[in-house]
Amino acid sequence: MFALYDSTPRTLEGEAVDALEDLAAWAEQELVSSGESRQARFVQTSLLPRGPLVARGWDVRGSCLPSLAVGGDFFDHEETRGTVHLTLADVMGKGTGAALLSATVRAAVRSTHDAVTAGVDLGVTTTRVARTVQADLDRSASFVTLLECALDLEDGYLRYVDAGSGLSLLVRADGTVQRLGSHDRPVGALGEDSWTEHTETIEPGDRLLLLSDGLLDLLQDPVRWSDEIGQLVLDAPDAAGFLAAVEELTRRLTPLDDVTVLVAFRDGAA
């Protein structure tokens, strides 16, 4: 319903009627878009963990900061018998469709956690995830960049798969910044595909960081993103302090895409 009020009665004709109809159509579309955006944001928020995981000298926490348009970012962490599963994914697309695809990807990844904890190769489980979500990705002409990690809380042994992301860092206690990457493609990019498990060890005082490409838009030099973000990590007193620094960046600079970050900081004492 769209109404026009004036102080005196009059009849609209010709171009005035056309202009009013265009304005009414625009207003209706804005209401629909606003409702869809709220629904997409609700779906996205519901995928996130309820709080940080602080245990055995580890601090695992993340943040998903919204942009002007809701995207398909999400992060997740879950502990299973001494193994923490870390996930950061970005479904290509915007709005409710991307948010719903994110929910599907999250459920598929979580269904593999028991197998990963039992020692099944992450490359194998990522293939299972891909087969589960492939039909949905095909229908929406989309794909997913995915970082999936399994972290042993006892000894810091890290297994990970990088499916088309390339946006993870290991910041060592001595200040060394190490990029964790691979040449594997995103899930859904080529249909049948395979992924490779990589390994590292997170020593006492080291910090692991997974991020979405939305954070790169806020940097002075996105090409040298690892240096700038690595320095942010080194300057932060703890995991919460690093996330606060990222949030401050989004307040000062309007992000074009959602800014999603997941970190695992290990205490300096073994």
- CATH number for the domain including 48? 3.60.40.10
Quick check: is 123 in a domain? yes
Q: What pLDDT does residue 11 have?
A: 66
pLDDT at 38 over 90: no
Half-sphere exposure of 181 (CA within 13 A, CB side): 9
3-class secondary-structure state, position 205: coil
pLDDT band for 8, please (50, 70, 90 cuts): low
Q: What angle do CA 262, 68, 137 make, to 5 degrees?
A: 65
Specify if 6 maps to a domain. no
DSSP state of 8: S
Contact 77, 53 (CB under 8 A): yes
Rg of the chain's alpha carbons, rounded to an integer?
A: 22
What phi and psi, each to the nearest 5 degrees, are found at residue 200?
A: -150, 170
* Predicted local confidence at residue 256, as pLDDT: 79
| Residue 96: predicted pLDDT | 80
Give the number of domains in the chain. 1
Residue 11 lies in a domain: no
79 forms bridges with which residues in the sheet? 84
Is residue 57 scored above 60 in pLDDT?
A: yes
* pLDDT at position 30: 42
Please give the average per-residue pLDDT across 116-122, as a whole number: 98
In a domain, 1, yes or no: no
- In this predicted structure, the answer to whether residue 36 has a pLDDT above a threshold of 70 is no
Tens digit of each residue's pLDDT (9 = 90 or more) over 65-103: 877 566 788 999 999 999 999 999 999 887 788 888 999
Residue 32 pLDDT greater than 60, yes or no = no
Please report whether residue 215 resides in a domain. Answer: yes
pLDDT given for residue 18 in this prediction: 56
Tell me if 71 is assigned to some domain. yes
Average pLDDT, the chain: 87
Distance, CA of 210 to CA of 48 (rounded, Å): 15
Q: What is the pLDDT of residues 133-186, one digit of tens each?
A: 999 999 999 999 999 999 999 999 999 999 999 999 999 999 999 999 899 999
Q: Which residue has the tokens 């002409």?
A: 141
Q: Is residue 30 part of a domain?
A: no
Q: Is the pLDDT of residue 31 over 50?
A: no
Residue 224 lies in a domain: yes
Q: Which residues pair with 55 in a beta bridge?
A: 58
Q: Containing domain of residue 58, as a range?
A: 37-266
Structure tokens at 173: 């206690």
Residue 29: predicted pLDDT? 47
